[in-house]
Structure 1
């Protein structure tokens, strides 16, 4: 099976350097080493998947849970590290790295069997689970609420340092005050404020977005960015332009990525 994730290649040590992965060398591949460790822990796995682009140094464990993607393992280049990312419907729910292949196997087992994010972290403490990931686990409405709070908090922390943060914060606060936008998932890109009708990546591109201008005004772009809906002198006026360009039936943001619908 071929992975669509980043190539899990690593730097090959020179003959004078110790091999940071002797267990992989003796087993013949990362997948074989991982299968051996899993068997030693009594885990009843199907054969570990490998990437056709790098079969010796790639490994992936498929999940039994609908929507949880195969969790692929990559290798650290500077030192011994096994690195994982667990994605579900366009959202990275877990990440982390460990030099211990046994700890990695425990994390993969939780992901494979549908354990909660908290349970996976408790079984394998190296796994990072963010507040936003926990919100996604609860559902899209929770993800939207936490996403808005984190966005506003981040901009407020930067407003005294960067002028762009102040202008983006003003439009974000005005957008949050508008119920039709507050139920969409917000994100920034190149200082622009965007809204998406889904909470997974890739985000939807069906809602207008706002660019703060250097003169203190705001420019509202159509979703395609090929057309300008209009310029506004105040954040509230810019929000009104965004609302005027919402697609018909634009409701609360839903789970998944734009291609899922």
Structure 2
């Protein structure tokens, strides 16, 4: 059970923790959790919720209330740069395969405009930036034996198995209709794709 405070930047939800008196805060907008926090201080929670409801931005909220967990990607969502920021995160990933696939995918403007995300090391691309994501673009799975499988995410049907990240990305790019993308804020539900 939680209370919701609607605001321009996203809905702030407040709930109580189960094991001890602690207040949990979450800010959601268009299928994305932008911020989260927990505090035992009810006055602090009320003040943060009031500031958010007044139209504050995430950076201001985080600066004034350090207990709020607001990350780099959250601010990118708020500024409309989430696709670019997500690709940048993949380029800095500690997973070498994710970095290689991102480097290759960014060579193709159609793919660079889609929202990338990883699921169990697979690289998936969405036409929306919020969850649930669209799942109508082929995904790329790095194989333990080497190489890559290009698959349809809904059925896990393999389209092709190839040796290099470039080959895998080229297959994904070729499989997408010319008018596919770019990613838009919201969820697959908003597009009627679920």
TM-score (norm 1): 0.67
Please state if 1:200 is matched with 2:126: no
For 2:89, the equivalent position in structure 1 comes to 150
Q: 1:76 to 1:62 in 2, by over 3 A?
A: closer
SS of the aligned residue for 1:210 comes to strand
Q: How does 1:34-183 map to 2 (within 5 A)?
A: 51=1, 59-65=2-8, 68-69=10-11, 71-139=12-80, 142-155=81-94, 165-183=95-113
Give, in angstroms, the shift of residue 221 of structure 1. 0.6
Q: Deviations over 1:98-118 (max 9, x none)?
A: 111011001111222322112
State the structure with bigger RCO (CA 8 A, min sep 6), 1 or 2: 2
| Counterpart-to-counterpart distance in 1, 2:96 and 2:58 | 35
Please state if 1:191 is matched with 2:132: no
RMSD: 1.9
| Counterpart-to-counterpart distance in 2, 1:118 and 1:171 | 31
Q: 1:103 to 1:136 in 2, by over 3 A?
A: same
Question: Relative to total residues, which structure has the larger strand share, 1 or 2?
Answer: 2
Unaligned runs of 5+ in 2: none
SS of the aligned residue for 1:154 comes to coil
Unaligned runs of 5+ in 1: 1-50, 52-58, 156-164
For 2:185, the equivalent position in structure 1 comes to 255
TM-score (norm 2): 0.89
Count of aligned pairs: 191
Give, in angstroms, the shift of residue 207 of structure 1. 0.9
